[in-house]
Structure 1
Amino acid sequence: MTAEPLLAILVGVLFATATYLMLRRSLVKLVIGLILLSNAANLLIFATSGLTRGAPPLIPEGMLTPEGPVADPLPQALILTAIVISFGVLAFAVVLIHRAYEVVGADDLDEMKDTDT
């Protein structure tokens, strides 16, 4: 069995788990869901780009195209950008949740709604 179907199943499971965790009432589970969602998006980009081994896309002098199979650098750049963006979103969410817990004193969203602060 090739790796593409396994990666597709893994991406689906990660997206489903992330969605489930983000719909829970706990803020900690929300952060874990955000982590899983960003990892699922990175794996999706990686899987859709194709799993081919190849040389770097360098064109030899005097030629118009590279020789042999080459690796596509665009998915790697997209994944690197997605990692940086997801790290920023995660850092913001952790700080926001920490501050909300300090002010309200609860992790559950129902308990936060019922407090009068």
Structure 2
Amino acid sequence: MDTLFDLPEPEMPEQAVIAHYRLSDDEYGSCAEREAIFDAERAMTVAVAKAGVGEVDGNEFGGGEAVVYAYGVDAEALFKVMEPTLRNLPFRPAHVVLRRGSRETESRLDL
């Protein structure tokens, strides 16, 4: 048996789209704000899966901010699918971080 061909294929580096939204208070935002984030997250989960560009991995609330995380092999392709929903959320200020590997390769886009 030739073990050279049994090596695992190298993994593509994971890239990320991280969306940040300022909420109405210094804690977790209102119930309506949280529900809007959850609804948007569900919509993006379906769109991202359908496009086959990665996965929406969850959210985080606290300190007056909501953050939504998504990962895939191409941050730009992932953002392109998520962008309409991200821009439709009314909370401002808001921005998205596109991370292409390490923190040194990330860029920030205002929404």
- Could you say which structure has the greater relative contact order, defined with CA pairs below 8 angstroms and 6 or more residues apart? 2
Greater percentage in helix: 1
More strand by share: 2
TM score, norm. by length of structure 2: 0.30
| TM-score, normalisation: structure 1 | 0.29
Instruction: Report which of the two structures shows the higher radius of gyration computed on alpha carbons.
Output: 1
